[in-house]
Amino acid sequence: MTTVRLSDAQRRRLEEGKRVLEDAEGKKLTQGEAIAELAQFTIRHRGILAEEPQAARLDLEGDSLLDMTLVFDMGRTNPRTIDRLLYGKQ
């Protein structure tokens, strides 16, 4: 037996997924059975998940680190400096 701690939002998503599975299978499922079925579904349908990356994309618009209005002054640069900063090349 494994204990899975879920936040309220995760619990709601699990319940929603469980209802979808119960409707498809026509029977009641425990939370453990629902988690196992959902895990099996993702393993069997990796291709679908890979085809739709926007479904798994994080909401980055509110991330202050990705704010395009931020400007960083690196001083004088040349291709060697940029390579060293980006790729760790000497």
> What would the pLDDT profile of 63-85 be if each residue is shown by its tens digit?
666 666 767 677 787 888 877 77
| pTM, full prediction | 0.49
Number of DSSP helices (H) and strands (E) in the chain, helices first: 5, 0
pLDDT digits (tens, 9 = 90+) for 5-40: 888 888 888 999 999 999 988 999 998 899 899 889
CA–CA gap between residue 88 and residue 84 (Å, rounded): 4
Residue 90 pLDDT exceeds 60:
no
What the block records as the tokens of 80 is 């060697």
Q: Higher model confidence: residue 86 or residue 37?
A: 37
CA–CA gap between residue 11 and residue 86 (Å, rounded): 40
* pLDDT score of 55: 52
